[in-house]
Structure 1
Amino acid sequence: MTALTAAPANQLAVANPWSMVPPLGNLDAYISAANRLPMLSAEDEQKFARRLRDNNDLEAAGALILSHLRLVVSISRQYLGYGLPHGDLIQEGNVGLMKAVRRFDPDQGVRLVSYAMHWIKAEIHEYILKNWRMVKVATTKAQRKLFFNLRSLKQGFKADAAAQDASASHRDTLSESEVDRMASQLNVKREEVLEMETRLSGGDVVLDPGPADDGDEGFGPIAYLADAGMEPTAQLESRERDRLSSDGISTALDALDERSRRIVEERWLKVNDDGSGGMTLHELAAVYGVSAERIRQIEVAAMKKMRKSLAEYA
């Protein structure tokens, strides 16, 4: 493959612009190579940009991209504090750079470096928001602005507070005045500052942690957040109970003779005004002029007949 030359020093040959990119897996070598690539002059940049726009010249696009790889490396370093791999940040920034090169208009009177910065940062921002945590912490424009500015402003507030009071530097939460200042500086609502502060100070919680190291089932929010009543089997059982307690009971009572039905209703289906139960065996025995034991026998036989009717109904 033809190697990329750098003569003159301020111009990129475009026969094979990617030949100077080192093999995958060596980030330090990539950064070193990107920083060694010469920058394009304004005239060469205009020439390559027009070739890309007018002729869809991919070699010209490669020259524009290669000359700005160092810009992506520089911008990506600003986002190392989010705990994401530097190589991934550079990769996403390169995607933004390629989008910028594709959309760059050389007749607008600006250098590609100024135009590309927006696209590079936008792509890195999107990657961070999607991968910083399992749950996305910023969705609206105001939340995105807070996410990328709250920590830096908070550090500035702590430095100012520490200059006045040494104990204030150990305070992690924002004071009321700091919340108001931050909302004013970022042009967002005070409530949005408090909401983002809460999100950033918290962490992800695994709903279902799975088995613990000792083999026991892990305990997580899934254990108490799940609504057992909405489980399909539970819903079917509930509907069946409701059906049996209404239509099923009525059908079973219709199968009884008048005396057996009254005994069951008075004993189990009626409630007095004071909340107490129905008639006792002795009270029913006095009504029918028989012994309490006879009333009990009739009740047992009626219940047996009702259970058979309910089984048939179900």
Structure 2
Amino acid sequence: MSPRPAKPRRLKALALKPSRVARGTQAVRLARTPQHSKAALAPAPALTVAAATPIGLVPRDADAPFYNPPLNEAERPSILALYMRDAVAEPLLTLEEETILAARIKRGDEAARERMIRANLRLVVKIAREYEGLGLPLLDLINEGNLGLMKGVERFDPAKGGKLSTYASWWIKQSIRRALTNQSKTIRLPVHAMERVWEIRKVTQRFEAELGREPTNSELAAELGTSAGRIAAIREANIRPASLDAPIGTESDSSRLGDLIEDERATTPYADLDQQTMRETLKEMLGHLPERELMILKQRFGLEDSDRKVTLSQIGRRFGVTRERIRQLQNLALQKLRTMLAEREALPAAA
């Protein structure tokens, strides 16, 4: 009697929390989950190895059902198209259906959880498109939005009023914004600064649509209730860093941008001489400061022999004044140094 063929292993696509490392393939699991039955609340079938293998979920061994191979750029468009096709095909839920599914989710029903997630995949795509061009590919933005959607589904309580789409939008946006803040830049901006970046982008898009041009920093400042200098600083900080592998020159020239960057760890006689000159100049300028201001700078910036920096409050106790007074004297002394330095730099030009 021939052995009975083994049944394909069943993988629960949405029940697995994805690794933060393999973000590019999270959409694969969501994209390839099969269509549920016509009944609106029927549990969706689990994903089989046979169905998953063709687009990136490859079985590895009995202990680890599948792994996520890295995606190359050529694979991304096709995977995104599959995701979009399946997301649009999922029927939306009514308020009554959301209430029933939410109750089942509270009891630990994974099928209900997956059903509610799939029904809101198109919402993730809609929100993700709003953040295109800020540092992450659309597929990665959708992946991050899916993580936010999962959190929203788990925390959704219809008894508090409103639909899941309204509640989950906040979680989706938060997840995408966190990812943009943490992943898209070599120099990371704090979340509150990224919030300003998004506000600036929205106002800029409105100006371009209405006036056919980008707004100035002053116009942005007036719209957002801040200063033009603050707008300029945020816009400059949000400039994406260039790749060191970026080619420069002509096609026949194989030079890269990194070839022009000096090794800052290497020391040269010129650098040593420059450092010595700077120390001597600083020492001379410090000699023109009043004794109290000189002592404050030495203690604040570790210019004493011990190189130990002292806080404003500690210095204030030593001089018998408040912390704020020490801060004022420190700023006054620094301004004097800046003035002296500017006068020195102007001497060669005057000559």
Q: How does the TM-score come out when normalised to structure 1?
A: 0.56
**Alignment map for 1:7-86 (pairs within 5 Å):** 7-8=38-39, 11-16=40-45, 23-24=55-56, 26-53=79-106, 55-82=107-134, 84-86=136-138
Q: Residue 134 of structure 1 aligns to a residue in which SS?
A: coil
Map 1:99-248 onto structure 2 (within 5 A): 99-136=151-188, 138-141=189-192, 143-158=193-208, 160-162=210-212, 169=213, 174-176=216-218, 178-184=219-225, 188=226, 190-200=228-238, 202-204=239-241, 213=254, 218-220=259-261, 222-223=262-263, 225-226=264-265, 228=267
> Partners in 1 of 2:244 and 2:265 — Cα distance?
10
C-alpha contact (below 8 Å) 2:35/2:90 kept by paired residues:
no
The structure-2 alpha-carbon separation of the partners of 1:160 and 1:26, relative to structure 1 and needing over 3 Å to count, comes to: closer
Letter in 1 for 2:180: I
Letter in 2 for 1:73: V
1:146/1:227 Cα in 2 relative to 1: closer, same or farther (>3 Å)? Answer: farther
Tell me the secondary structure at the aligned position of residue 241 of structure 2: coil
- Measured in 2, the distance between the counterparts of 1:3 and 1:113 equals 22
How far apart, CA to CA, are the structure 1 residues paired with 2:36 and 2:191?
A: 46
Structure 1 residues 69 and 3, CA gap change in structure 2 (3 angstroms): closer
Q: How far apart are 1:71 and its partner, in Å?
A: 1.1
Structure 1 counterpart of 2:241, one-letter code: D
List alignment gaps of at least 5 residues for structure 1. Answer: 163-168, 235-314
Letter in structure 2 aligned against 1:218: D
Larger of the two Rg values belongs to structure: 1
The Cα of 1:226 is off from its aligned counterpart by 4.6
Q: Which whole-Å CA distance do the structure 1 matches of 2:42 and 2:135 have between them?
A: 37
The equivalent residue for 2:348 is none
Q: By percentage of residues, which structure has more helix?
A: 1
Alpha-carbon separation, structure 1, partners of 2:108 and 2:201: 43
- Aligned residue-pair number: 209
Q: 1:132 to 1:214 in 2, by over 3 A?
A: closer
Q: Tell me which residue corresponds to 1:279.
A: none
Q: Deviations over 1:55-107 (max 9, x none)?
A: 12211111111111111122222222336322211111111100111111221
- Does the CA-based 8 Å contact 2:217-2:231 persist in structure 1? no
Is the 8 Å Cα contact of residues 146 and 172 (structure 2) preserved in structure 1? Answer: yes
Taking only the aligned residue pairs, the percentage that are identical comes to 29
* CA drift at 1:180: 3.0
Q: CA deviation at 1:4?
A: 4.4
CA 1:23–1:107 in 2, change beyond 3 Å: closer, same or farther? farther
